[in-house]
Chain A
């Protein structure tokens, strides 16, 4: 089963995203900030797709993307930013850091799944 790594500092968002992704046939790993995300990758988790928020404590989304791109196993893993930020400047910053795509909250469950399925079909 493909693994999706979800990073968000909101427990409710993590719960919601996990539920939607698990219901669509994905295995879900979660973290409450970028540092926890990097730690998960260090534990050997190999996600097929990473969903990350931008504004998080300790290590934010941009910082996480930069660090994840330095790790061999996630150098080319699709990283989707899911955030309340819709501004072009932040988007450019995330793209420059290595983000593959962008979803602005509020997003619909189908919208989210359609993006994830395009990148990694559930088995």
Chain B
């Protein structure tokens, strides 16, 4: 491989590393999650408020009482669903961020100029960056496919 081609490949790796890093940094959805958690906290507060209002009300209307109980049950169910949804999304986002991190590290190493292109980073070096078995399984499947 010519020196110009090696330099060009390293440049491409450096650019890709920056682009994936920018994408990874945009994965932070804290504001959306904060809103979700605040919504569940608000639902919990409203549910408690409904109970308190009912306890302090002199007027005991059986229809209103039944509707209050139904509303509290519904709020509890929605709150539970929102909790599960937010927690699951947070974990997925964390996993995606870690995979992006792995790609950035690999590209950054491949962009280093001290070693000849093709020798600075191996598939074993890449495997050492993985943070989950899913990544390792995918890695093995690709290696197998490329070798067959």
Contact = CB atoms under 8 A, between A and B. Distances in A.
Contacts of B147: none
Interface string B20-38: 0000000011100110010
Interface string B41-61: 100100000000000000000
Contacts of B136: 87
A55 B129 CA distance: 10
A81 to B, nearest CB: 13
Given A84-B94, A109-B83, A15 B88 contact: no
A115 interface: no
**Size range of the chain A interface in the assembly:** 20 to 34
Interface string A12-23: 110110011001
A20 B87 CA distance: 9
B97 interface: yes
B87 A84 contact: no
Contact of A15 (B37, B84, B92): B37
A108 B81 CA distance: 11
Given A15-B37, A16-B86, A20-B87, A86 B133 contact: yes
Nearest to A19: B37
A44 interface: no
Given A10-B97, A15-B33, A87-B136, A55 B131 contact: yes
Interface of B: 28-30, 33-34, 37, 40-41, 44, 83-84, 86-88, 90-95, 97-98, 131-134, 136
14 contacts: A10-B94, A10-B97, A12-B30, A12-B33, A13-B91, A15-B37, A19-B41, A20-B83, A55-B131, A84-B95, A85-B132, A87-B132, A106-B95, A112-B87
